[in-house]
Each structure stands twice: as structure tokens, then as C-alpha cells.
Amino acid sequence: MSDDSTAEGTFADLGLRPELLSALTGLGYEEPTPIQREAIPPLVEGRDLLGQAATGTGKTAAFALPVLQRLAADRRIGAPSALVLVPTRELAVQVSEALHRYGRELGARVLPVYGGAPIVRQLRSLEGGVDVVVATPGRALDLVNRGALRLGEVRTVVLDEADEMLDMGFAEDLEAILDHTPDERQTVLFSATMPRRLDSLARRHLDDPVRISLGRERTEPGEAPRVRQTAFVVPRAAKPAALGRILDVEAPTAAIVFCRTREEVDSLTETLNGRGYRAEALHGGMSQEQRDRVMGRLRAGTADLLVATDVAARGLDIDQLTHVVNYDVPSAPEAYVHRIGRVGRAGREGVAITLAEPREHRQLKTIERVSGAPIAVERVPTVADLRARRLELTRSALRETLLEDASEDRLDRFRVVVETLTDEFELMEVALAAVKLAHEAGGVVDDDEEIPQVGFRPDRPDRADRSGRPGRPAGRGTEARGSGGRASGGPAARLFVGAGRDAGIRPGDLVGAITGETELSGRDIGSIEIHQKFALVEVPESAADGVVRALRATMIKGRKATVRRDRA
Ligand code: AMP
């Protein structure tokens, strides 16, 4: 693979409107990610699309840009022309923010609607007219049933993270919503996995879709260079501190840190310099002369960190490079392979480090599969690890001095210092004080900020239970979802819901209602029992009152139900 194989095509080549191109430039996006390159042209043309892509691949922009591109120039109609359905409120906010950012110059009116937020405000915003609605299925259907969300003008429906929506029991809601949209609409479905249930949904609602699967391109075995590959799981907010800590422990001779956008390059460079590293930024917005200067400083050793975008780093060959750092999980496995190809050349040792967010597990697994080399997930070094490592460095430096300088008598002129001090102090104390001075002379300031130790979010541990399919009756007319599935630990509270099998309630309906209306995720929910007339569901004690309030305010399976703490 040549260094330029991921370089074909700019956003302009994808046929996007000038307003969108300038928004992307403003955001510092230098080139489309592979999924964007493949998805945008057919979507702009109006084709249906079935895409397998996880978070972190740039899939949001892959559907958001075409949706914006296709907004009618003359949109005085109040009803939305695009509807994006997402599994959680968190994602609803994230996707609508992205649409808003990309569509600013087009004056796109984007509205997120999800459970848990006051419906009155959403009703008012819908009345005022919107172009794109980003919604969780439960709330969307609620608004449709109230006549507030009119879908008759919808030209594009996007189902984002469709597997998650099915897992959360939203299958029927999705069908009902799609039934309210025009038959000739464009339908776009993105999903991280393609379970069979999703296939049947796609067959029914997608018309001759373009199929895109990320990670389909195979990298030849052995193409990935031999480098030590590690990943650290770090929450986004802790990334700068974690990167600093990892660099301190790794002590690279020279490293390149890859970021997604120009903005990220600039702000990270500034942060790193503020923390005492000698970092230089390199991105596509710089002139050739500026770039040459940066490279010169790196080669001369007056800088030891290069913070760069993929575009800017393309074709660079830096001999002294020992470490490649992915500040984010790269958007495609091929990009990862390219990046780490910059170290470990000509038999030299190289290290590739990836900072992954807790939700990016699957993306990392795909990279591991495609690059054909294992990536070890390690713990972010603690303050104690760092101190131990720094002492180790001081010890090695002293040992080197003892071996080199003592043999050539270059230490003799310090003898008088030690001798006069030993009149007053023990030799050991003198040595300790000297080590302290040497240790601190490196100018290192011990930081004592602990970085949160987190793991990957589990990959749907209870898929079958959250599927919303009718569970097998567990005797005596109940449907039970096994307990012990709650990932959060801590005390649980049992809630009584006054609707059961007679009302057609299934475990998935409760999971869907709770996750749609509150901050809880499926993993927080414990055992669920569905009885003839009522259901019992376990939630974390600390969230119980909020869940009761939220469920009372919403409809479950299209009806109001009594909800209270179970007294039994
Ligand atoms: P997503 O996979 O949609 O969750 O996007 C992951 C991240 O990549 C988001 O922070 C986007 O802002 C960013 N992103 C998406 N497309 C690009 C691009 N072409 N260049 C740089 N960053 C991008």
C-alpha cells in the first residue's frame, strides 16, 4: 500500500455545496473519512444505504452532510424534511449538534427530541418549523400520535445505531414511525453490527440500498509493521493528562501524535507545550515553509513531539521516530496501519499507542482484526507508576555517570564537597541529598493528578434480554429477565408498573421506556418480571425516584401506567 492510497478525494470532490464545504473547513476537517468517501455520493444522489460502521468512523457526517445537501432551497414548509432516529438521548443531542454545526451556513433548523425533556418545549419548537428532527423512537412516536410531528414531507429517514434500537425494544416503534413517512422517501440505516433481525428490517424498508461495510478492505498479512501496540482506555476529558502521563513513562526520543482535526492539533500542541513538552503542530492549513521549519526542528532535536493530522503527516519519513500516538481511535483500520507504519522501520523498535474512549471498544477490535496484530489494553500509569519510573530514570543516569565518569576520574573535583559534608552528615544522607538534586534538575514537576481508571463499556452483555422479543414464559404466566445483569452494582430498588402481559408489555418495552426517558442505560436495569396485570423492574436505588417520575410522565406501549416503588 502506498502512503497516498487513502488520499484520493476531498470533500469538494464528493459534490457537496459550498456552504457545507466552508463549514467543514471551519471545523478543521481536512479530508473525508473512508465511510464518508463511500457513503456521501450515493446519498447525495438519493439512494438508500445500508452501512455497517461503528462510532468513531465519521458516520454521523456521512449521513448528516447529504441530509443537509438535500434540504430544499426553498423550505418554507414547517414540517421536517428529514428524520434521524437514534437509540439514546445522548446520541440525539450529539447528532443534532453535528447537524447544526455542519448546517449553520445553510440556516438549517435542527431539533433534537427525546424523552425526559419537557415535551411542551418540543411541541412549541415543532410548531415553529424545523428541517431536521433527531429523535429517540419512543418520543418520536409520542409526538406523531399527538399530531405534533408531521412526517408527510419527510424525504430522508436515517436509522442510526439501528442494532442498539432493536436491542432496546424499539422495533415496533420504528415500524410505526416509518409507516407515517412517504413511501418514496430515502432510507439510510447505519449499524455497528448486522444481526439477522436487522436484515429483515432493511429488506422491508430499504429500496435497492448501496451497501457499505467498514473494514471490508483487507490489509495484506504482514503489512502492519512489527511494533509494540498498546491502547489505553481514557474518558475524553482526561485525554490531555493521560497523554502527558503516558509520554512521561514512555519517554520517546521522538513521537508523532495524530489528531482528527486542525483545531485538535492546535489545542493539543498548546496544552502539551504548557505541560513542558516541546511539541510542534503540523496540519494542512500551514504553508510549505512553515511545515519545513517544523520538520527541521524535529530533525534537529529541538522539538520532540509532532502533533499532526493524517493529511499533514502523509509522506513524512522521520528517522528518529520511536512512537506513534493515536489521540483518537483512527476512523478506519487502514488509517491505523498507515500511521503505525511510520515507526518500526528498518528493524528499529517502534511503539504505537492509542487512546480509546470507553465506547470505542468495537472500533479497536476491528482495527486489531484488520491489522492482524494484537493491541494490548493497558492501564493508564498512576502517579505512583510515574514516580517510580522517574526514579528509575534518575538511577540509570547516576549509574551511567558512575560507570563512565568514575573510570576517567571526572568525578574527582567533587570530592571536596562530599568530604566537607561528611564531617557534619552521614555519607548516606549526603548521597540522598545529591540524588534529590539530580532528580529535580531535570525540571520535572511531579504531577499528582490521578487519572480515572476506566474500562471499555461492555459490548451489550445482555443482548437477548434487551431484544424486546417475547421472552419465554418463566412459569406461572410471567416473563422474567434474569437478574444479576445490572452492571453498575450498588443497591437496587424494585419498581411496580401497573401494566403487564394483558397490555402486551414485554421486557424490551420497559427497557426502552426507561433508557429513553432517563439517563440510565440498558446495563443499569436489573431483573424484569412481567406478570398478567403488572410488571416489576429493578433499577439502581439512587435513580429509582427519577425513573418513577419519568415513567409516570410518559406512555408505555401507548398507554399511561401506574408506576411506584414496589412495597413487597
Ligand atoms: P462519529 O463516528 O460520527 O461519531 O465521528 C467521530 C468524530 O470524528 C467526531 O468527533 C467528528 O467530529 C470527527 N470527524 C468526522 N468526520 C471527520 C473528518 N472528515 N475529519 C476529521 N474529523 C472528523
d(CA 521, CA 459): 12
Site to probe by mutation for ligand 1, drawn from 35, 63, 96, 261 as the one with most ligand atoms within 8 Å of Cβ, is 261
Query: Hey, what amino acid is at 316?
Result: L
Q: What is the pLDDT of residue 342?
A: 80
Residue 57 Cβ < 6 Å to ligand 1: yes
Cα 215 to middle of ligand 1, angstroms = 17
Q: 3-class SS at 162?
A: helix
pLDDT in tens, the chain (568 residues): 334 444 468 999 998 999 999 999 999 999 999 899 999 999 999 999 999 887 778 999 999 999 999 987 666 667 999 999 999 888 899 999 999 999 999 999 999 999 888 888 899 999 989 999 999 999 999 999 999 999 999 999 999 999 889 988 899 999 999 999 999 999 999 998 888 888 889 999 999 999 998 754 444 444 445 688 999 999 888 899 899 989 988 888 889 999 999 999 999 999 998 888 899 999 988 888 898 899 888 888 888 899 999 888 876 777 778 899 999 999 888 888 888 878 866 556 789 999 999 888 888 888 888 777 788 898 888 888 888 888 888 898 899 888 888 877 889 999 999 999 999 999 999 999 999 998 887 665 556 677 777 777 655 433 333 333 333 333 333 334 443 345 455 788 889 998 888 888 887 788 888 887 887 877 778 777 777 788 888 888 888 998 998 888 888 877 788 898 876 5
Report how far apart, in Å, the C-alpha atoms of 390 and of each of 277, 301, 386, 401 are. Answer: 16, 21, 6, 17
DSSP element (H, E) containing 563: strand 563-565
**What is the 61 CA–ligand 1 centroid distance (Å)?**
7
**What is the residue whose three cell numbers read 493539543?**
268
Closest Cα partner for 224 from 326, 343, 366?
343
Nearest CA owner, ligand 1 atom 19: 32
Q: Residue 354 Cα, ligand 1 centroid: separation in angstroms?
A: 16
Residue nearest to atom 9 of ligand 1 (CA): 58
Question: Which ranges of 483-562 does DSSP label H, i.e. alpha helix?
Answer: 507-517, 544-553
Burial class for 488, CB neighbours closer than 10 Å (0-12, 13-18, 19+): middle
Sign of CA dihedral 193, 198, 199, 201: negative
Q: Is the minimum distance from the CB of 89 to ligand 1 under 6 angstroms?
A: no
Q: Is the CB of 58 under 6 A from ligand 1?
A: yes
Cα of 268 vs centre of ligand 1, distance in Å, is 17
Which atom of ligand 1 sits closest to the CA of residue 59?
Answer: 3
CA-proximal residue: ligand 1, atom 18 (nearest):
29
| Per-residue burial over 525-539, b = 16 or more CB atoms within 10 Å of its CB, e = otherwise | bbbbbbbeebbbbbb
- Ligand 1: atom nearest CA of 309 is 21
Question: Alpha-carbon torsion 359, 360, 363, 369, what sign?
Answer: negative
Q: Is the shortest distance between the CB of 59 and ligand 1 below 6 Å? A: yes
φ/ψ of residue 306, rounded to 5: -115, 125
pTM exceeding 0.85? no
| 261 CB near ligand 1 (under 6 Å) | yes
Ligand 1 pocket member 60 (CB < 6 A): yes
Ligand 1 atom closest to residue 11's alpha carbon, by position in its atom list: 19
Q: From the CA of 300, how far away is ligand 1's center (Å)?
A: 34
Residue 371 near residue 333 (C-beta atoms within 8 A): yes
> Cα torsion for 391, 269, 328, 48, to the nearest 10°?
180
Whose Cα sits closest to atom 8 in ligand 1? 58
399 alpha carbon – ligand 1 mean position (Å):
48
Q: Is 112 in the pocket of ligand 1 (CB under 6 A)?
A: no
DSSP 154: -
Tell me which residue of 295, 293, 283, 358 sits closest to 523, measured CA to CA.
358
Best of 60, 161, 191 for a ligand 1 pocket test (most atoms within 8 Å of beta carbon): 60
Tally the residues of the chain.
Answer: 568
> Using CA positions, which residue lies closest to atom 5 of ligand 1?
58
**φ, ψ for residue 293 (rounded to 5)?**
-65, -45
How is the beta sheet containing 479-481 ordered, strand by strand?
479-481, 528-530, 535-540, 492-497, 563-565
- CA dist 518 to 85, 450, 547, Å? 17, 30, 7
Q: Which residues contact 131 (CB under 8 A, 6 or more apart)?
A: 71, 75, 80, 81, 82, 103, 108, 109, 110
For the CA of 55, the closest atom of ligand 1 is: 2
Distance CA 320, CA 254 (A): 6
Pocket test for ligand 1, best of 29, 268, 311, 329 (most atoms within 8 A of CB): 29
Domains and CATH numbers, the chain: 3-214 (3.40.50.300), 227-381 (3.40.50.300), 384-441 (no CATH), 461-565 (3.30.70.330)
Residue 548 to residue 562: CA distance in whole angstroms: 9
Please tell me if the CB atom of residue 309 comes closer than 6 angstroms to any atom of ligand 1.
no
Distance 56 CA to ligand 1 centre (A): 6
pLDDT of residue 535: 86
